[in-house]
Structure formats: C-alpha cells, structure tokens
Amino acid sequence: MPSLEGHGGGGSRALSAPRLRVDTPERAGLDPEEMRLLVLDVMDLTVGDRPWAAGAVVVAGRGPVIAVQEAAGWAVRYGAYDPERDAGVELAPQDRVPMTVDTPFDLASLTKLFTSVAAVQQIERGTLGIDARVGAYLPDFRGAAAHGLTVRHLLTHTSGLRPELPLYACADDAERLELLRAQTPVAEPGTYVYSDLNMLLLQHLLERLTGRSLDVLVHEGITRPLGMTSTRFGPCPGAAATEDQRRPWAKADRGMLRGEVHDENAWALGGVAGHAGLFSTGRDLAVFCRTLLAGGSYGPARILGPDFVELLLTPPGLGFAVDQPWFMGELAGEGAAGHTGFTGTSLVLDPATDTFVVLLANTVHPVRRTPDSAPRALAGTRLAMGVR
C-alpha cells in the first residue's frame, strides 16, 4: 500500500468511560518481557552515528492501562545538516535537549486522523452526508464538483486527486486557493491514490459548513473535551526538532525547524491544514486511541457514538488505514487501525485486543531520508506478542 506519510462536535455527556492510568504490564494483561523488549527496541533506534531517529517516545497499553511510557535520545541533537558529509552537525552536549515522555512532536500526517474525526462528527450530527457531493458544499471548487467527488472519496483517498501540489510556491493565499479549486482527478474516482489534497478539500468543506476554522473544530470537538491539553496546531516552541530545511532536499529554505510545522504546504497555509500541522505528545495520543477503543468516550466526555467510531474504523477506514502490516506488524489482521507521519510519527489501535501503541520519533532530524517503517512494524509486533 502506498505511504500514509504524505509528501467539531462532540464533548456531549455520556456514561463515564475509564480514564487511562499508568500501571504494570501484568495489570494491563500484557507480557512484561515483550514490553521490556519493546522499550529496548525503541532505545536502540536512537543510538549510533546515524540512528533511525535522534529521539523517540513510545506509549503502549491495553484497556485503560498504560503499560509502557518511555523516552530515549534527544529532542534536539543537531544544529544543522552538512550535505558534504551527509551528516548532522552535532550540538555540544550541554546544548542538546533530552527527549522526555512529555516532549511534543510535529505529528505530520497524523493530523489527518483529527480532520477525519471532525468530519465524522458532522456526519453523526446529520449536517454532512458521507456520500454527498463535495460540489454541493463547495461549488467554487470546480474540479471536484465537475467530477462528482464525494465526502467518502476524500475520507478514503479514492478521489483520484494527485498526491500533492506546490502550494508553498504560490505567491499568496489567493493563488493557493485558486490552485486547489481547479484540481481535477488524475485517476478515475474510486481509485486509491493517497493524497494530501483530500484532507485540504475536507478542511475547506468543514470550515464552509460550520463557519469555524479547523483548529477551532479540533479544539472544541476533540482535544478540549478529552483533556488533550498538549495537542494543538503550532507554533509549539518546546517540540522535538525536525529538519534543517533547505533546498535542494527540501522545498523551502527555512533552516533548522523546531516548533514550526515541517510540511512546507502546511507552513505556507499558516500552520493549520487538514493534512498536517498538529503537535502532540505520546500521552495525549494514548488518550485519543483509548477514546476510540472505548467507542468514542473518555471519562465523562463523548466525541463520537460507538456506531460512528465503527464507521470510522471499518475497512478501508475513513482517514485511518486498516490492517497494514508494513507499519502495524503483527497487530494487523483483525481490524487494527492507524496512520503514520513523515516526521517519524505513528499510532496503531487494535479493537480486537483492546491495545494501542504510539511511537513518536524525529526521524527527519537533521534531514529527511527514505522512510523506513520497519521499527514501527516491530513495535506493533511486540505489542501483539505481548497479548498472546
């Protein structure tokens, strides 16, 4: 399957669902040896001259119990990237910033999951039809309207729209908007083509429909009711560093990034975009996973009803990818759902075993490289083995 990394409502009262607590693997019903190996695996990812990531955080659990919550490596290790040596320029030890379990990360394409939940909240309210035509809500988006694209097409990456656009190269917001409005499918609608444009169109649709910006929809409908106080669109000054972003390897000359969105298009759009822009922590994302595993409720808050969580996670998934071994490992196979992000982020939740694993890493620090999801798959496999 192609990469998932990318190039409002809720808050109503329901019967209280258990909140997460930190406890032992045994109390979570997980094998302690497999959880110990999971931690060691993550620590190994951050060591050496060319590690998989400068730093990483892993949070994993079962039911309402967090059984693993560990950090390794550095939130900031490099001051720059040296293209002649193809290596990072390391900061002096006293200038580096250690990774902690509370370090926020640029989520990159994990943002798409929140945009998808915001859309399904509107579907639950009856204000948005899943098979309604995009043109009914955005008639000025001529390409989508002319080709009969639907909300389902956007949520399942089957619109046929191209993977991305050089919005960062446009002169201003008006030119960016016009470019989006004119986009037509490059593949037959119904064909799977993973595309950031799907979530950008969905963002415009939601904002037009509700009269509220996406950041407000996410805050009011998801993060505030769930108490996810560390999840927000940037800037986020204390976040793990990402890339020394310069041409020719990047699409813009911005220098070493920390707390500003890595994705160039999201940056050009002001940091709030349907496909990228959110920052969060491992603990907050564990709450997000637990909420969906509990049918949309966490504590006294409900952001979705169980039927609509099922709609969100039923294959092929709305925004979420379902049963993808290439990043889920052996958790895949019985309805596990999740996503990855280009900066090194990922999450997987498995309703069949009531488990979740969040792996956050700054793999693009100090520079982007060919994505490697083998460590993510291994984390999923460790968790799956811990259940057996």
Which segments within 38-197 are labelled E, that is strand? 55-62, 65-76, 78-82, 87-90, 97-98, 105-106
User: Residue 9: pLDDT band by 50, 70, 90 thresholds?
Assistant: very low
- Please list, residue by residue across 274-312, b when 16 or more beta carbons sit within 10 angstroms of its beta carbon and e when fewer do: bbbbbbbbbbbbbbbbbbbbbbbbbbebbbbbeebbebb
Instruction: Please name which of 36, 60, 75 lies closest in space to residue 328, comparing C-alpha atoms.
Output: 60
User: Residue 3: pLDDT band by 50, 70, 90 thresholds?
Assistant: low
Alpha-carbon distance 155 to 204, whole Å?
14
Percent of the chain at pLDDT > 70 equals: 97
Instruction: Please name which of 197, 178, 172, 200 lies closest in space to residue 186, comparing C-alpha atoms.
Output: 197
For helices 32-44 and 374-387, angle between their N-to-C axes, nearest 10 degrees: 170
| N-terminal to C-terminal alpha carbon distance within the chain | 27
* Rounded average pLDDT over 206-220: 98
Alpha-carbon distance 195 to 198, whole Å?
6
For the chain, give the mean pLDDT.
Answer: 96
Residue 13 in this model has a pLDDT that exceeds 70: no
Q: Name all domains of the chain by residue range, CATH numbers in brackets.
A: 12-117+215-387 (3.40.710.10)
* pLDDT (tens digit per residue) in 44-56: 999 999 999 999 9
Instruction: Please name which of 246, 244, 233, 235 lies closest in space to residue 274, comparing C-alpha atoms.
Output: 233
* pLDDT (tens digit per residue) in 219-271: 999 999 999 999 999 999 999 999 999 999 999 999 999 999 999 999 999 99
The half-sphere exposure of 170 on its side-chain side, counting CA atoms within 13 A, is: 18
* pLDDT (0 to 100) of residue 10: 43
Write down the pTM of the prediction: 0.96
Percent of the chain at pLDDT > 90 equals: 95
* Rounded average pLDDT over 62-85: 98
Amino acid making up residue 208: R
Residue 1 in this model has a pLDDT that exceeds 80: no
Let me know: does 188 contact 160? Beta carbons within 8 Å.
Answer: yes
Amino acid making up residue 130: I
* pLDDT (tens digit per residue) in 143-189: 999 999 999 999 999 999 999 999 999 999 999 999 999 999 999 99
Other CB atoms within 10 A of residue 213 CB: 15
* Rounded average pLDDT over 360-370: 97
* pLDDT (0 to 100) of residue 171: 96
Residue with tokens 């949309």: 296
* pLDDT (0 to 100) of residue 7: 61
* Rounded average pLDDT over 128-142: 97
Amino acid making up residue 6: G
Strand order in the sheet with 105-106: 105-106, 278-280, 232-233
Query: Before 32, cis peptide (omega within 30)?
Result: no
* pLDDT (0 to 100) of residue 5: 75
* pLDDT (0 to 100) of residue 16: 80
Alpha-carbon distance 373 to 68, whole Å?
20
Let me know: does 302 contact 15? Beta carbons within 8 Å.
Answer: no
Positive or negative torsion for Cα 157, 308, 108, 68: negative
* pLDDT (0 to 100) of residue 187: 98
Instruction: Please name which of 7, 385, 24, 60 lies closest in space to residue 198, comparing C-alpha atoms.
Output: 7
* pLDDT (tens digit per residue) in 264-321: 999 999 999 999 999 999 999 999 999 999 999 999 999 999 999 999 999 999 999 9
